[in-house]
Structure 1
Amino acid sequence: MSKVRFARADYNLTGMPQYDGNPLIECLPKILSDVDVVRRIGHMPPRPDETERALDPKLRGHGINRMKDVVVPFHIHLRLEDLFSQLIRYGYTGRNPLHASTVRHRLPSSAEIKGHGFMSTAETLTLIGLSGMGKTTALNSIAKLYPQVISHSKYKRQIFIETQVVWLKIDCPHDGSLGGFCAAFFSSLDDALGIEKYSGRAGTGRSISVMLQRISQLCKAYFIGVLIIDEMQHLCSSRGGKDREKLLNFFVQLSNDAGIPLVYVGTNAMLPLFSGVVRNARRAAGMGPIAFDRFPEGDPYWAHLVSQLWSYDWTKTSVPLTGRLVAKIYDLTQGDTDFLVKLLQLAQRHAIWENSDSITPALLQEVYDDQMAILHKPIEALRSGDPLQIADFEDLMPTKDQIAQMMNYDLARRADRSYLSLITQAAIAPVMHSEKAATKPASKPVIPVPNEPVPTAHFVEGVDVQTQLEQRGWVDKESAW
């Protein structure tokens, strides 16, 4: 079991009338300013100094792994934290434990709560984006701003003994099965509470419907503030689509009946899950989707990220980051943060093994050619800018293109249905007038080529990129730690 993140309830007024008087909200940490969020979720492990660069090559190789722990906050992190904060707090407004409707709502028998005034205030947040762009890392950092479990004993001189699970995160099973989801939920709840009580239920022969009902009751019993469901794209591979539809229906029921806010997290490959069923799409768009797409070339925020990672250099001689290096790095990673970290780590290990003094554009190209060959096809697809090539890797397709493809497919499908309907009507109704033969519309999905200008940033050769960014006001010194 992992270390339990328990906290004793400490109640503080928020100043918001819809929140005050609700112990489930007053016990939460204060609502953070943007500056506080940057300081709390940003993480810059110790950078190597000259002493560390002089260590044995084997030791320096271990230091390179610290680069994976770097978290550089951007505006999208601030937006995500703000919506996550609203999601939890507003979701609790409909579940005030001091209200009679909430007490009745938590009763085991659903028949006892019908018509007793409970109304869900749960919303849904959808976090989508390219593989490797830091969605899960960002969400984990934000969730950890809250204690996972809060223990209550007394509220305003009233006995109030409850255990509140503020957030619970589970991964969709790789096969998208109902049984796998139930097992993941029970295991995650046990892990949060530091017990071994519920995880054995998944293997005791209970029916899926009974386990799903039990999940709903546990969400009510522990006042779960938000359920985070990661790797949602796995539902697209569920057997025959039967489990997929049942799970999506269960999520809607959990939000409506149990009042539990949901966070859907996955690559763009999960978007078709919300096509065709209005209530699924409506839920997914609840608080507006947040998309982690790759950085465009010339984006100053990309240059800032590269600059921060560049300072973690364990080669013998640390060289300044130039515009030429930034351009080369972008060409070999195409704005994907995971590819960026891999390239820099592999380049440093290669330089250390080959006893090279520093990293150069030629060394980066050599590492890309030799050690990143397995990634060439997706990177070349991104480099081409051709939507048809990018569509071969659906978890790399830009979010807006994935949505456009899905919408065009649905429009074509509806057109096919309309065409079929006309054929049927013509077959059963008498022909009163001669008509021209109708032509069946094409149903091939069309992916629009993005035509939006991207911001550019021209850097002076030979001058440190971070210094140029600060001079132009794109980043400040404090944000660079």
Structure 2
Amino acid sequence: MKPSYEKACYNKTGMPQYDGNPLIEALPHILSDVEVVRGIGHMPPKPDAAELQLEPKLRGHGINRLRDVVVPLEIHLELEDGFSQLIRYGYTGRNPFSPETVRYRHPKKSGAERGGFKSSANIMTLIGLSGMGKTTALDSIAKLYPQVIRHSKYGNRIFIETQVVWLKIESPHDGSLGGFCAAFFSSLDNALGIAKYSDSVARRPSISVMLNSIIQLCKAFYIGAIIIDEMQHLKSSHKGNDREKLLNFFVTLSNDAGVPLVYVGTNAMLPLFSGVLRNARRAVGMGEISFDRFSETSPFWEHLVQRLWEYDWTGSGEPLTDELSAKIYDLTQGNTDFLVKLLMLAQRYVITENLPGITTRVLQRVYDNQMRMLHKPIEALRSGDPQQIDDFEDMMPTKDQISKMMNYDLTRRAKRADLKLFLNEPLVIEEPRPKPKSRTVVAVNKPSDAHLPSGADLEEELLSRGWIDEDPVW
């Protein structure tokens, strides 16, 4: 992969905690909302008159451009602002001219790694339903920054360093430490345009050696932020011990190496942080940004549907009516990935069957015949029943997932402490019951005496046989 190095160009920010730090001054200027919208929005060419005259099969290829549409929404602005602060403030504790930073990067003896170094790194958590565009949004925002910056001179000082602004790593599907290490080395090699660190995995060093190498590389290249995608993979891992070690290692990266982290995943990853306080505390360091599905009346949903509707390869020019909008929502339940799939399949069906345009009947037919694998999750979302949605954990709204997690933890604590106060129920103090009198045990002479007639009253039979007292004290 060809590296995309940029030569450092330093600009003051006007913020006293940032100025004087070449790692921050080399970053692009802090963007306004308008600049963010222009930077992350992507509207590929709409079909023109010439394209609409092409053969149906060729127009079918054009429909794929719908996948590339990125419509900036309010949540994108929130995400960009958080990412901007995360990287810049994370560098404040790693000014390369600070004596503490020099000691932490070049320890002279064991145990002196930190040498007064105090991490300014934080963690941002991006969670949401599967198919809501989390990864696409974050990729667009990360690309607003150069991935690698070459430094040579800062003012009158020689400063020959390579700065890696961000790395993106996908969580290993098996939750293993070795898988994470391999993914890190591969991502770093891709950013630098070399094949050096990935080769070290082939030599099969120990996990502890690889983890230590990662920490040293984070320091050496001044890595600005590590984006860890698909965090829910760790929850489904069968290697629970590795999973805990990996979560603890993330804390070490943030505390000892001073690297900010971005956790990205579906709502199924939330239980990862419920058991260990420091993991949960760090995970919400800069708050959590949630990509939940849109409501039908959301103006952002209406805007998104309208912008996608404008990409029409059928040539019908059919306007987006209220009836069509309602049908689209009913068949997608506010999920952006389902929305794109539905519109693409509907256009292909219209073109293939040579129909006049997209109608509610066409949408229903496409949903019934070509989206059958999505029926159960969509029906669960449509029902609004938490029990049905719970069957598809990565589809559960964030607030419901957190509520479920908290209720489970509360119940567990109540059982352990044997206190109903945790469940907000009144604590009833019962009067002590008198000790019952001992009962007389009567020997059974014949085995048949132990059998009671079918339909007999149990208490009467026991009394008649003298097996219990007539007036027991309960």
- With the length of structure 1 as denominator, give the TM-score of the two structures: 0.86
* Alpha-carbon distance, 1:211 to partner: 0.4
**Do the aligned partners of 1:122 and 1:256 also contact (CA within 8 Å) in 2?**
yes
How does 1:134-145 map onto structure 2 within 5 Å? Answer: 134-145=133-144
2:117 corresponds to which residue? 118
1:149 corresponds to which residue? 148
Instruction: Report which of the two structures shows the higher radius of gyration computed on alpha carbons.
Output: 2
Identity %: 72
1:162 corresponds to which residue? 161
1:450 corresponds to which residue? none
Q: Tell me: CA distance 1:109–1:266, structure 2 relative to 1, closer, same or farther (3 Å).
A: farther
1:474 corresponds to which residue? none
* Alpha-carbon distance, 1:316 to partner: 3.1
2:335 corresponds to which residue? 336
User: How far apart, in 2, do the equivalents of 1:111 and 1:40 lie?
Assistant: 45
User: How far apart, in 1, do the equivalents of 2:206 and 2:54 lie?
Assistant: 59
Render the CA deviation track for 1:233-259: whole Å, top value 9, x for unaligned: 000122241111000000001100000
2:131 corresponds to which residue? 132
1:267 corresponds to which residue? 266
2:439 corresponds to which residue? none
Equivalences, count = 425
**Do the aligned partners of 1:4 and 1:193 also contact (CA within 8 Å) in 2?**
yes
**Do the aligned partners of 2:126 and 2:265 also contact (CA within 8 Å) in 1?**
yes
* Alpha-carbon distance, 1:112 to partner: 5.2
User: How far apart, in 1, do the equivalents of 2:301 and 2:109 lie?
Assistant: 51
1:219 corresponds to which residue? 218
Report the residue type matching 1:185 in the other structure: F
Render the CA deviation track for 1:143-192: whole Å, top value 9, x for unaligned: 00000000000001111000000000000011111110000000000000
User: How far apart, in 1, do the equivalents of 2:291 and 2:26 lie?
Assistant: 31
Q: Tell me: CA distance 1:435–1:104, structure 2 relative to 1, closer, same or farther (3 Å).
A: farther
* Alpha-carbon distance, 1:115 to partner: 6.2
User: How far apart, in 2, do the equivalents of 1:221 and 1:252 lie?
Assistant: 19
1:79 corresponds to which residue? 78
Instruction: Specify the SS of the correspondent of 2:195.
Output: coil
**Do the aligned partners of 1:334 and 1:382 also contact (CA within 8 Å) in 2?**
yes
**Do the aligned partners of 1:107 and 1:113 also contact (CA within 8 Å) in 2?**
no
Instruction: Specify the SS of the correspondent of 2:71.
Output: coil
Report the residue type matching 2:407 in the other structure: N
How does 1:33-432 map onto structure 2 within 5 Å? Answer: 33-107=32-106, 111=110, 113-114=112-113, 116-419=115-418
Q: Tell me: CA distance 1:60–1:160, structure 2 relative to 1, closer, same or farther (3 Å).
A: same
**Do the aligned partners of 2:42 and 2:68 also contact (CA within 8 Å) in 1?**
yes
**Do the aligned partners of 1:182 and 1:212 also contact (CA within 8 Å) in 2?**
yes
Render the CA deviation track for 1:209-247: whole Å, top value 9, x for unaligned: 110010010000000000000000000122241111000
* Alpha-carbon distance, 1:109 to partner: 6.2
User: How far apart, in 1, do the equivalents of 2:206 and 2:70 lie?
Assistant: 42
User: How far apart, in 2, do the equivalents of 1:134 and 1:114 lie?
Assistant: 40
* Alpha-carbon distance, 1:113 to partner: 2.8
Runs of 5+ in structure 2 lacking a partner? Answer: 420-429, 435-474
Render the CA deviation track for 1:288-334: whole Å, top value 9, x for unaligned: 00000000112121111000000111003121111111000000000
Report the residue type matching 2:132 in the other structure: M
* Alpha-carbon distance, 1:5 to partner: 1.8
Q: Tell me: CA distance 1:359–1:410, structure 2 relative to 1, closer, same or farther (3 Å).
A: same
1:425 corresponds to which residue? none
**Do the aligned partners of 1:104 and 1:112 also contact (CA within 8 Å) in 2?**
no
What CA RMSD, in Å, does the superposition of the two structures yield over aligned residues? 1.6
* Alpha-carbon distance, 1:203 to partner: 2.4
Instruction: Specify the SS of the correspondent of 2:394.
Output: coil
User: How far apart, in 1, do the equivalents of 2:113 and 2:153 lie?
Assistant: 29
Render the CA deviation track for 1:435-456: whole Å, top value 9, x for unaligned: 579xxxxxxxxxxxxxxxxxxx
Instruction: Specify the SS of the correspondent of 2:344.
Output: helix
Runs of 5+ in structure 1 lacking a partner? Answer: 421-432, 438-481
User: How far apart, in 2, do the equivalents of 1:130 and 1:69 lie?
Assistant: 19
User: How far apart, in 1, do the equivalents of 2:272 and 2:296 lie?
Assistant: 31
- With the length of structure 2 as denominator, give the TM-score of the two structures: 0.88
User: How far apart, in 2, do the equivalents of 1:382 and 1:19 lie?
Assistant: 46
* Alpha-carbon distance, 1:286 to partner: 0.4
**Do the aligned partners of 1:255 and 1:262 also contact (CA within 8 Å) in 2?**
yes
Render the CA deviation track for 1:47-92: whole Å, top value 9, x for unaligned: 1122211111111001000000000011100010001000000000
1:430 corresponds to which residue? none
Runs of 4+ in 1 over 4 A off after TM superposition: 433-437
Instruction: Specify the SS of the correspondent of 1:328.
Output: helix
User: How far apart, in 2, do the equivalents of 1:365 and 1:247 lie?
Assistant: 45
User: How far apart, in 1, do the equivalents of 2:433 and 2:276 lie?
Assistant: 35
Report the residue type matching 2:14 in the other structure: G
Render the CA deviation track for 1:259-286: whole Å, top value 9, x for unaligned: 0000000000000000011000001110
* Alpha-carbon distance, 1:7 to partner: 0.3
Instruction: Specify the SS of the correspondent of 2:160.
Output: strand
Instruction: Specify the SS of the correspondent of 2:395.
Output: coil
User: How far apart, in 2, do the equivalents of 1:30 and 1:387 lie?
Assistant: 44
Q: Tell me: CA distance 1:115–1:37, structure 2 relative to 1, closer, same or farther (3 Å).
A: closer
**Do the aligned partners of 1:231 and 1:267 also contact (CA within 8 Å) in 2?**
yes
User: How far apart, in 2, do the equivalents of 1:110 and 1:357 lie?
Assistant: 77
Render the CA deviation track for 1:332-380: whole Å, top value 9, x for unaligned: 0000000000000000111111111211110000000000011000000
* Alpha-carbon distance, 1:419 to partner: 2.3
User: How far apart, in 1, do the equivalents of 2:109 and 2:44 lie?
Assistant: 50
1:427 corresponds to which residue? none
User: How far apart, in 1, do the equivalents of 2:101 and 2:107 lie?
Assistant: 12
* Alpha-carbon distance, 1:108 to partner: 5.4
Report the residue type matching 1:360 in the other structure: T
Q: Tell me: CA distance 1:253–1:436, structure 2 relative to 1, closer, same or farther (3 Å).
A: farther
